[in-house]
Amino acid sequence: MLLTDLPVVRNPIGKDIPEDKLVKVLLINPNASESMTLNAMKMVEGSLPVDAIVYGYTGPKGITPSTIEGHLDGVLSSAAVFKDVYPLMSQVDTALVACFSEHPLTNCLREEFDIPVCGIFEAGCYSARLIGGRFGVVATVYRSEIRHADSIKNLGIDKFCVGVLSTGLKVSELETKPRNEVLGKMENIAQELVGRGADALILGCCGMSDMKNAVESSVKDKKVMVIDGVVAGVNLLCGLVRSGLKTSKRGLFASSKDARVSRGQEYL
């Protein structure tokens, strides 16, 4: 697979910048929903740095889950996508895993490669901590309330979180349910989180990217910031690349490849 096989988005203002001067971002959607990938890229387009280009990857159909809603979905998608994107990683400067969870693919890529890698969960949470005092997360299925709350605790920032609340919608229902119904549920959850004291809200699913404007409108009079982890992640990673920062290979993210080879395991 080549980067030229993937859909691309870049800021038209930077159209004259040579490709070899651009920050190349691989946006990895680890599920098999191409429409989710395209919606995420559409959201990024409006805030993309002029010297950046984003390539949108979607997990292979029939191998990766159509949506990711639990631990098993995450493991299955991680194993399949890791092998599939492997040749692409040497062609880009940074990679964003567009699944709102502690997706195992993120750390797998950090171990194997030295380019900066981030998930949209981390990008959303760290952005919320920078711009507000308390944040809340608008989640999908009920299980996500539990998983995301645990993940926020793992980051050590749970005392700044007023809650993770579920819309009761499956990830696929973000696209299949009537639009007014979906947006209504998200707006109600957003308002409840603001009522609890949130001054920043995080959209808890890549599939919510194109719904940011509706959530913002529902809390606009409260001066609350709404964060899409895809947009935040792309811009955060571009900043790391420009700063000359890479994934540290001392300690937690020491090369997994070197360890494999030392054990005589040359396969992935």
Domains of the chain in start order, with CATH, are 3-119+231-262 (3.40.50.12500), 121-229 (3.40.50.12500)
* Non-local CB neighbours of 58 within 8 Å, separated by 6+ positions: 29, 31, 32, 33, 34, 36, 37
Over range 3-23, report the average pLDDT.
90
Paired strand residues for 23: 52
Sheet of 117-119: strands edge to edge?
8-10, 52-58, 23-29, 94-97, 117-119
- Half-sphere exposure for 146 (CA within 13 Å, toward CB): 6
* pLDDT confidence bin for 186, thresholds 50/70/90: confident
Angle, helices 229-242/34-45, rounded to nearest 10 degrees:
60
* pLDDT confidence bin for 181, thresholds 50/70/90: confident
Question: Among 80-84, 104-108, 129-133, 206-210, where is mean pLDDT lowest?
Answer: 206-210
Over range 154-172, report the average pLDDT.
91
Query: Does the model's pTM come out above 0.85?
Result: yes
Query: Residue 194 is which amino acid?
Result: V
Give all strands (DSSP E) within 17-105, no chain letters: 23-29, 52-58, 94-97
Tell me the three state secondary structure of residue 80: helix
The pair of three-digit structure tokens given for residue 52, joined into one six-digit string: 């950046």
Over range 13-29, report the average pLDDT.
92
Burial of 44 (0-12, 13-18, 19+ CB in 10 A): buried
Residue 209 is predicted with a pLDDT of 67
The pair of three-digit structure tokens given for residue 109, joined into one six-digit string: 């890529």
